[in-house]
């Protein structure tokens, strides 16, 4: 089944404790991205990647890191989480950036930083 | 910077009604617009994708139109059902989202 998976689905952590949210897709998509969703603000893009080893900042990159060492994986790293990073996070992928292809979303990761 | 707006933020209708959800964007230089459905606490499900060269797309009871010159897209839902209750989001160019319209269809 074609899908985007994220782990963990729920995470409660404390300020300053490094964490990684994994994202994996099995559709051989080139383009992957991370979003956060907050009430009243909709989805905002954190980082995106057009292909392996090619990443760039979205609208709200501060406090986050990403890497794209393999085509299928795009982990989101919070080196020192803070309470304002409490949010619902989504990973998405599409075949390519330039073709304007349909985006597929993961199920979301609900993060709480105390 | 592209801004995407969805009005109204919430809509409640009786079952069976036809309804229209609106999405407006500030920069007409887009290459696609996508409509999604999001159920509470869940991910996004793609409903319709309209490329910039297209005027509309249809899937079952759903029809989405795109008017780039006026910076607007509409999602038309025919004969609404309680199972249509969800939040509907539009996204421009795969990255710019509106805040969504929360739809409730009452039996």
Give A48-103 pLDDT, tens digit per residue: 999 999 999 999 999 999 999 999 999 999 999 999 999 999 999 998 876 667 88
Q: What pLDDT sits at residue B94? A: 72
Flag if B99 and A97 touch (Cβ within 8 Å).
Answer: no
What is the model's pLDDT at position A44? 94
Question: CA B19, CA B82: separation in Å to the nearest integer?
Answer: 13
Nearest to A45 among B4, B49, B95 (CB): B95
The residue to which tokens 């969800």 are assigned? B86
Q: Is B84 helix (H, G, I), strand (E, B) or coil?
A: helix
Mean pLDDT over B53-74 rounds to 95
pLDDT tens track for B19-41 = 999 999 999 888 889 999 999 87
> Is B35 an 8 Å CB contact of chain A?
no
Which pLDDT belongs to residue A103? 85
Nearest to B39 by CA among B81, B74, B89: B89
CA dihedral A87, A70, A31, B38 (to 10 degrees): -40
pLDDT in the model for residue A100: 66
Look at residue A80 in the predicted model and tell me its pLDDT: 97
Q: How many CB atoms lie within 10 A of CB A16?
A: 11
A 26-85 residues with CB < 8 A to B: 31, 33, 35, 40-45, 48, 58
| Contact at CB, A44 and B42, closer than 8 angstroms | no
pLDDT, residue A98, reads 66
Note the helical H segments in chain A: none
Would an 8 Å CB–CB cutoff place A106 in contact with chain B? yes
On chain A, the residues whose CB falls within 8 A of the CB of B91 are 43, 103
Who among B41, B43, B49 is closest to A105 (CB)?
A: B43
Neighbours of B37 (CB within 10 A): 20
Q: Indicate whether B85 pLDDT > 70.
A: yes
Q: Which residues have a Cβ under 8 Å from the Cβ of B1 and sit 6 or more positions away?
A: none
Task: Tell me: pLDDT of B52 over 80.
Answer: yes
């Amino acid at each position: 089944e074609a899908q985007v998976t994220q782990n963990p689905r729920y995470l409660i952590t404390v300020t300053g404790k490094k964490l990684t949210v994994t994202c994996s897709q099995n559709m051989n998509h080139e383009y992957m991205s991370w979003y956060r969703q907050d009430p009243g603000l909709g989805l905002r893009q954190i980082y995106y990647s057009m292909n392996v080893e090619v990443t760039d900042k979205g609208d709200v990159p501060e406090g986050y890191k990403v890497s794209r060492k393999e085509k299928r994986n795009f982990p989101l790293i919070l080196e020192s989480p803070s309470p304002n990073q409490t949010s619902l996070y989504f990973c998405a992928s599409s075949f390519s950036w330039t073709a304007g292809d349909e985006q597929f979303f993961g199920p979301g990761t609900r993060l709480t930083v105390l | 910077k592209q801004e995407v707006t969805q009005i109204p933020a919430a809509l409640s209708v009786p079952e069976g009604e036809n309804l229209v959800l609106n999405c407006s964007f500030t920069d007409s230089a887009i290459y696609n617009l996508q409509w999604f459905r999001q159920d509470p606490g869940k991910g996004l499900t793609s409903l319709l994708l309209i490329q910039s060269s297209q005027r509309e797309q249809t899937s079952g009871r759903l029809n989405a139109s795109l008017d780039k010159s006026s910076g607007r897209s509409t999602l038309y839902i025919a004969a609404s059902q309680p199972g249509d209750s969800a939040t509907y989001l539009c996204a421009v160019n795969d990255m710019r989202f509106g805040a969504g319209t929360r739809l409730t269809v009452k039996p």
